[in-house]
Amino acid sequence: MNLQSRVESLKSRHADLDARIAAEDQRPRPDADSLTRMKLEKLRLKEEMERLRARPS
């Protein structure tokens, strides 16, 4: 997998997590533990994307 396709894959997973977080947040009683796990994963993905983009080509 080349760098660009890896970043695109991470972007897709990041967007999916964003949608899942929004959906969970809209529930009458959101699961705080689940939200925390998803937000941490989303942050990890963002940091990995930034690290890959900063890498010299």
Q: What is the pLDDT of residues 10-30, one digit of tens each?
A: 999 999 999 999 999 999 999
DSSP class of residue 13? H
Q: What is the mean pLDDT of residues 28-48?
A: 97
Q: What is the mean pLDDT of residues 44-54?
A: 95
Q: Where are the alpha helices (DSSP H) in 1-57?
A: 3-26, 32-54
16 neighbors 42 (Cβ within 8 angstroms): no
17 neighbors 41 (Cβ within 8 angstroms): yes
Q: Which residue has the tokens 């760098």?
A: 3
CA-based nearest residue to 42, from 24, 15, 23, 22: 15
Model confidence pTM above 0.75 = yes
